[in-house]
Structure formats: structure tokens, C-alpha cells
A and B are shown apart, each in its own frame.
Chain A
Amino acid sequence: MAGPGEPLIEVRNLSAHYGAEQVLFDVNLAVLEGEVMVIMGGSGSGKSTLLRHLLGLERPSAGQVIVLGSDMAKLRAKNQLALRRQMGVAFQGGALFSSLSVAENVKLPLRERGDLGERTMDIIARLKLEVVNLAGCGDMMPAELSGGMLKRAAVARAIALDPRLLFFDEPSAGLDPTVAAALDELILQLRQAMAMTIVVVTHEMESAFQIADRITVLDHGRVLAVEPVERLLRNKNPRIQNLLNRRAERPEIEAADYLHRLTGDA
């Protein structure tokens, strides 16, 4: 059920560099309201960099990232704050603040809003922890949680302000298959129950096929395809097929280069 809505995120001709190295090349992408967009690619494909740009954590070297109608790089601090309150992010390792309890972590975005009473915040925090099946864990410290619980606590914090846009960075990385499946289930439930638009960055295909409406395939910093799951499975592009069938890509080797590398002569 691809979202019929307007694009909430538009990436236009985005290029990005780390130092002298270019990691994203002319990326174009639109995320529509209500859809689950999965950004998929192997390691080094640039998917984490793309996510950092979507979150406004990096400035593009060329191109634009338009989120909810505003260009992130051009926003003033105050407007950026207002925009960020409509976005939630569940980071790969959870990124919970280790000095705060789980409930305090969830309450942090609420507290920073500054207009809610302590009692209201308590109730909202409990509510969000219920949603991610962590009821009763509010008083625990992040160090006491298992990997799956950490990620769910991070989701609770991400949805604390009922954002319109929810981002997941590698939700199933490092989890056993059952826990990963439960997290996929949770992502779908959130979309259903809270009408959120969800962007998931992952390298796990199974999970991607499970949750995605559309999949963006990134490879070496370039977008290979932005397609619904069924169409992607029929895509004939050999690089996509390699990725889908988990075939290792053999780097092309020049005999002379190879010899030079082994002997160490420049």
C-alpha cells in the first residue's frame, strides 16, 4: 500500500564528501507520506551518510534535502528545532543516554519542549514504553537492557513527541532473528497505529522485504533503483541481482596492479 500522499522528504541531486572522498553522487529520492521507505545497500554504499543528510546532521556539498517542505541546510536554528520535533530517530545502537534511566530518556524530548508537567510526562513516557512492550522497564538504566530492549527503548524515545517522520538506522543489526522479526512487526504497527511515514536504513534484505512499501537501492553512493518490492525483485540490473541474491561481488583485478600491490612497489 504505497502512500498516495505528498512527498515528505525530497532529496535533489545530493552529493556528499568525507574529506576529499565523494560518498554520494547525485542522489535523487522522494519519500511519500504514509509509506515505509527502506534504503538498502551494502556496507560502504553511502546509506548511513544519506541518513545523516536526511536528519540534517551533515551539510550537503551539492544539492538539497527538503524535509517537510523546508531545506534543512538553510533553516535557522529555531525553525530547525520546530522541524526536528516532527522527526524521530531510532539509532543503530539505541544511543540512549547512559546516565539517564529508560523513562528519563523517553521524557527528554518532552522535557525539552518545556510546556508539560512532570505528571503528564510520566504518563506519556509510560504510554510510549507500553507501545514498544517495555512496560515496567522505565526505572532500569540503559546498561541493564538487552540489545533488543535497547532498540525498543530507542523507538519509545523516538516516538515520544508523536513525530510525522520516523527514521530507523539498521533496526535488525545485531539482533537474533526472532527479536529482529518482532522489531519489524513493531515498525509496521507504528505505521498503522500512528500514521507515521517511516524511513528505514538497513542491509538486511529479509527485513526490508517484510516492511517496505518501496525500496531504494544504493550502491557505491549512487541510487540504482527506487521501486516497490515486487518490481525490485524482477529488476534485471546485475548489481541489484547480486545484492538480492547475496552474491559476493568480485572486484575486477588487473594482473599488473595485483602484482604491484603484492610487491608493495608503487
Chain B
Amino acid sequence: MLVRAENLGRQTVRALDEIGYAAALFAEAVVWILAGRHWGQPLRLSATAAQMLEIGIHALPVATLLAATVGVMLAIQSLYSLGLFGAQSFAHVGIALSVTREFSPLIIGILVAGRSGSALAARLGTMSINQEIDALQVIGINPVRFLVAPALIAMLIMLPALTMWANLVALGAAGLYVSAALDISVAAYSAGVLEVLSSNDLAHGLGKSALFALLIALLGVVNGTRVKGGAEGIGRATTRSVVQAISAIVVTDMVFAFVATQ
């Protein structure tokens, strides 16, 4: 019993410690992004571009596939459930709202957490074990500016961008299915979708994805830089960063939806 209480206490302290560390990292990264140029250590644009390529462009094929599948899945489910009371012609309403407000940010968030959050943790973990982070410090390069800031910026730009792309693909795929199933024209479906969607719905989804980007980047960095215990430790940190990021995304999603709809 005592041991359990002790463990609980230790885990709580560790969790608080990590949250504090993440907050400090975020603050430091923002300071470097804003003031780095003034101090003669500007944001590394080439590294940021490389990260954007990796996080965003290289994820396009799988993001497209996932978004199209989710779009068709939603179309099938909407037609089925609305068909129960003969309201199939309203399918586009449910599809448009749930894709832009919920499914695109969530699916893309989970995809990027698995692809890039883990890669970030593994990269930083390896660098930390190889003393590359120490080497940066002794060369006089701030590791937050050099490693964290580019990843953070790239994530904050590319995740909403990918989400926007997923919106288009999912709505398009759903449209093809709905128009075939209900025998209406794609143009009529598109007009219906555009009529339903407001900029508020898009902002809701994209805002969420920016928040997810922050969570994925910070959890990747925190787990990566705190690696202990060689190759095995890197594996553990990578797994931990993915699990934590996906959990954080799902919980944040719920909280965000609640707050934003009040």
C-alpha cells in the first residue's frame, strides 16, 4: 500500500516535472523564434524547410489515402443512419461538419504523431545519447533554437495544411460516393456542402490541428531529450511519445469541442 502511494507520488512529480519542462521548452523556442535574429542566432530556415518537407509533403500519399477512406466511410454511415428515417438527402450536412470539425484534424493528428512525433523523439534521443546535444552547447549553439524551433514551426505550419488537404480529399471522396448512391450530380453535392460550411467550422478544425501540432512537437522533444539507457531507451522514448501524443490529441479534441461549442 505504502509502496503504491509512493509510486503514485513519484509518477505525479515526474508528470508535473515533464509538463513544466515542456512549457519551458515552448517558451524558450518562442523566444528564439522571435528574438533569435536580434541575438545573431536566427531561426534555421533550411532546417525548417527540411522538416516541413518531412512532416508534410512526405506524408501526403498516406494522408490522402486515409482522408479518402474516412470520407467514404462517413458517406456510407451517414446514408445508412439517415436512411433509417428517409433523410438521405441531408447526408452532406453531417459529412461536411464532421469532416471539417472532427475527422480531418483527428486523423491527420494521429497520423503525424505516429510518423513525425516518433521520428522527432528518436532523432533527439539518438543525438542526446551520442552527445551531439552537448556538442551543440559547447559550440555555442542553443539546442532549442537549433533543433526544437524548426520542428515546432514546421509542425505548426504543416499539420493545419495537411488537415486542410484532408478536408478537400475527404469531402471529395464522400461526394463521389454520395452522388453515385443517391444519383445526384457532384455539383449539387458540392453546392450543398458549401452552403452548410461556414468559416467557423473550418477554423474550428484547423485551430484544433494547430493545438495538436504543438502537443506532438513538445511530447516528441520532451521524450527524446530525456532518453536514458541506450538503444532500448530510445525505443521506449519513441513509443512513449506516440502513445502520449495520441492520448493528448484525443483528450484535447474533446475538451476543445466542448469549450468551442459553449
Q: Across the interface, do A89 and B140 meet the contact criterion of CB distance under 8 Å?
A: no
Residue A63 at the chain B interface, CB threshold 8 Å: no
- In the complex, what distance in Å separates the CA atom of A76 from the CA atom of B126? 29
Q: Mark B170-213, 1 if CB is under 8 A from A, else 0.
A: 00000000000000000000000000000000000000000000
Q: Pick from B41, B127, B132, B134: contact of A112, CB below 8 A.
A: B41
- In the complex, what distance in Å separates the CA atom of A77 from the CA atom of B140? 9
Given contacts A93-B131, A97-B132, contact A81 B138 (CB under 8 A): no
- In the complex, what distance in Å separates the CA atom of A92 from the CA atom of B127? 14
Q: Mark A84-114, 1 if CB is under 8 A from B, else 0.
A: 1101110111011110000000001100101
Q: Pick from B40, B130, B141: contact of A93, CB below 8 A.
A: B130
Chain B nearest CB, measured from A209 CB (Å): 26
Chain B nearest CB, measured from A86 CB (Å): 10
Q: Across the interface, do B40 and A114 meet the contact criterion of CB distance under 8 Å?
A: yes
Q: Pick from B126, B127, B132, B140: contact of A81, CB below 8 A.
A: B140
Given contacts A93-B131, A114-B40, contact A55 B138 (CB under 8 A): yes
Q: Across the interface, do A57 and B135 meet the contact criterion of CB distance under 8 Å?
A: no
Given contacts A81-B140, A85-B140, contact A91 B131 (CB under 8 A): yes
Q: Pick from A55, A95, A114: contact of B130, CB below 8 A.
A: A95
Query: Is chain A's binding surface mostly helix, strand, loop or mixed?
Result: mixed
Q: Pick from B41, B138, B141: contact of A89, CB below 8 A.
A: B138
Chain A residue at smallest Cβ distance from B41: A112
Which of B40, B134, B139 counts the most chain A CB atoms within 10 A? B139
| A: interface residue count bin | 20 to 34
Residue B137 at the chain A interface, CB threshold 8 Å: yes
Residue A234 at the chain B interface, CB threshold 8 Å: no
CB contacts (< 8 Å) of B137 on chain A: these are 55-57, 84
- In the complex, what distance in Å separates the CA atom of A137 from the CA atom of B11? 48
Residue A247 at the chain B interface, CB threshold 8 Å: no
Chain A nearest CB, measured from B127 CB (Å): 8
Given contacts A78-B39, A112-B41, A114-B40, contact A95 B139 (CB under 8 A): no
* Chain A contact residues, CB within 8 Å of chain B: 52, 55-57, 77-78, 80-81, 84-85, 87-89, 91-93, 95-98, 108-109, 112, 114, 157
* Chain B contact residues, CB within 8 Å of chain A: 39-41, 126-127, 130-132, 134-135, 137-142
24 pairs from A and B in contact (CB 8 Å cutoff) = A52-B134, A55-B134, A55-B138, A57-B134, A80-B140, A84-B140, A89-B134, A89-B138, A91-B134, A92-B131, A93-B130, A93-B131, A95-B130, A95-B132, A95-B134, A95-B135, A96-B135, A97-B135, A98-B126, A98-B132, A108-B139, A112-B140, A112-B141, A157-B139
| Inter-chain pairs besides A84-B138, A93-B130, 6 sampled, C-beta below 8 Å | A80-B140, A88-B138, A89-B134, A89-B138, A93-B131, A97-B127
